Structure 1
């Protein structure tokens, strides 16, 4: 019998909190379908940004009944000027003018949505169905404060592989898959810390975190391996409560039989459920290989390292991917 998806179980959990989430891409039918589902199922309170008439036309064309969602045109929002002023004050030290701040919030709904979260009008935002990752990340970084305890903005994917005994019965977090190309020691440590905390917060299971490499415990030497070793020591120093080890090859990280041969003293012992990749290329390629070849469910990229939650989306996502991203954002809030 197929086990119940842990990701789908999160939808039921989110109903207990019903947070306010803003979806800035109201001109995308996938966003409208997901928003209505989330609202009618009681998973979250949904606000969708865009031109009311245009959104209604898209909904009608796709047989979507706009039930239980709030549609907001940013330009007509009662607090547009207040949010524009707040955004200007955040960016004026970078040379931004008041006029530029208002123009950005009028023309880029993801920035307006992020400022709604900044002001406490919303608990989180999800975007990326029709917005580039670069613009979603810029909106998040410019409008939401960095979590000083972590000090690094990164991203993670929740991966669920059916009929797998690896990780947490097929459940993993992969990071960083979308933000930092070549993480430093400090950044890699921050990625490991925030990803470990995310796994526990969502699933109530202690993270077993592996810093991945092509080397296992000194089987090779290079500058990148030195960065991984430095990150391991920094995580241990900052967060001794996190179960972490590295550098580990993937098989040593997730296969107990291999771990007994390659790293018998490892605290992970081949049972890692959080995989930290050494760079963005490895992380991005890794999650897509697992998603496509193993037909895994992939949710993300989830933005980490900010004081308030948000999530990016793949532009190839379907409406259920948006539902899952909103669910996780709600739980993090």
Structure 2
């Protein structure tokens, strides 16, 4: 049974509520219908019911069985506004009343108050707006200072699964942020895949083969991870070939417990991570699922605006596995 099959099996065994704030989109409607028909969960769509009805009629999709909430007139608005007032006491109440009507803020508030278990957005909204809503309404997870993301990479034969980070949030992480990203990614990878993480802190250098400030930053981040999580298998600086190919690892890092068998790859920058996962996807034929957001105090995830409805379902399934095992 491959990863997605395991996730779907778990979702069916314990169906949860999933809210889609960017609901005025045929892809969100198709994802909700699929999840509902396959009994993978209970989807909410946020938006004006008449606009959603018209969209369904235009594309010949069923409307009557959809769970729809209009965030501009919902009976939950007073409760959500009161919640926001406690989180942001310095903000004028009228400003909060308007903010909570935004579907992203409303969806995050559904998570915060237990009205929904997962929030899948970003198919229409920008990453900045999704993360801003999540941070304002939910805040950061306890003992975490860095918001980041994990991309799950599945081999063409579905037999190998890897975690790539950070491919979607932090452009130039500091040593401390890179350590946070590595720890969050290791935990997320284990929760999603049930595999023991072996974390490679990537660089253009292996074990000090090159001298540069960028290499030093990766080495210092690795030391921070080892200090905070001494039982985690983590090593760096490692070049990708040394981290991935056993024969290369024997030459470049013969004493490493990670080199040659890493399954979690932490890139030194967003630029490197984004380029890396797209090369694996387009040249290597790997399936890229995600990104899934890490470090926020709730299961709120951001998709690419170029995603398909199938991508939305896949991220929802992985999000369920990720949260239930943490």
Output the TM-score relative to the length of structure 1: 0.93
2:98 aligns with 103
Residue in structure 1 matching 2:272, options 277, 282, 289: 282
1:225 aligns with 215
1:261 aligned onto 2:251: yes
- CA-to-aligned-CA distance 1:94-140 (integer Å, 9 cap, x gap): xx32122222222x211110111111111120100010011111111
Contact 1:10 / 1:327 at 8 angstroms: preserved in 2? Answer: yes
2:34 aligns with 37
Distance change in 2, residues 1:221/1:148 (3 Å): farther
Matches within 5 A, 1:240-259: 240-259=230-249
Structure 1: gaps of 5 or more residues: none
Q: Distance in 1 between matches of 2:192 and 2:61?
A: 31
1:210 aligns with 200
Task: Please state whether the residue corresponding to 1:74 is helix, strand or coil.
Answer: coil
2:190 aligns with 200
What is the CA-CA distance between 1:67 and the residue it aligns to?
Answer: 6.4
Contact 1:36 / 1:66 at 8 angstroms: preserved in 2? Answer: no
Contact 2:182 / 2:266 at 8 angstroms: preserved in 1? Answer: yes
Contact 1:44 / 1:330 at 8 angstroms: preserved in 2? Answer: no
Number of corresponding residues: 323
Task: Please state whether the residue corresponding to 2:78 is helix, strand or coil.
Answer: helix
Contact 1:83 / 1:115 at 8 angstroms: preserved in 2? Answer: yes
Contact 1:211 / 1:247 at 8 angstroms: preserved in 2? Answer: yes
Q: Compute the RMSD of aligned alpha carbons.
A: 1.6
Contact 2:119 / 2:301 at 8 angstroms: preserved in 1? Answer: yes
Which piece of structure 1 moves more, 6-15 or 235-244? 6-15
Q: Distance in 2 between matches of 1:147 and 1:241?
A: 22
Task: Please state whether the residue corresponding to 1:76 is helix, strand or coil.
Answer: coil
What is the CA-CA distance between 1:69 and the residue it aligns to?
Answer: 3.6
Residue in structure 2 matching 1:57, options 40, 54, 59: 54
Task: Please state whether the residue corresponding to 1:159 is helix, strand or coil.
Answer: strand
What is the CA-CA distance between 1:276 and the residue it aligns to?
Answer: 0.3
Residue in structure 2 matching 1:317, options 287, 295, 307: 307
Distance change in 2, residues 1:67/1:292 (3 Å): farther
Q: Distance in 2 between matches of 1:69 and 1:190?
A: 39
Task: Please state whether the residue corresponding to 2:164 is helix, strand or coil.
Answer: strand
Output the TM-score relative to the length of structure 2: 0.95
Residue in structure 2 matching 1:123, options 117, 132, 135: 117
Structure 2: gaps of 5 or more residues: none
Distance change in 2, residues 1:68/1:193 (3 Å): farther
Q: Distance in 2 between matches of 1:221 and 1:236?
A: 21
1:237 aligns with 227
Structure 1 segments, 4+ long, off by >4 Å, are none
1:149 aligns with 143
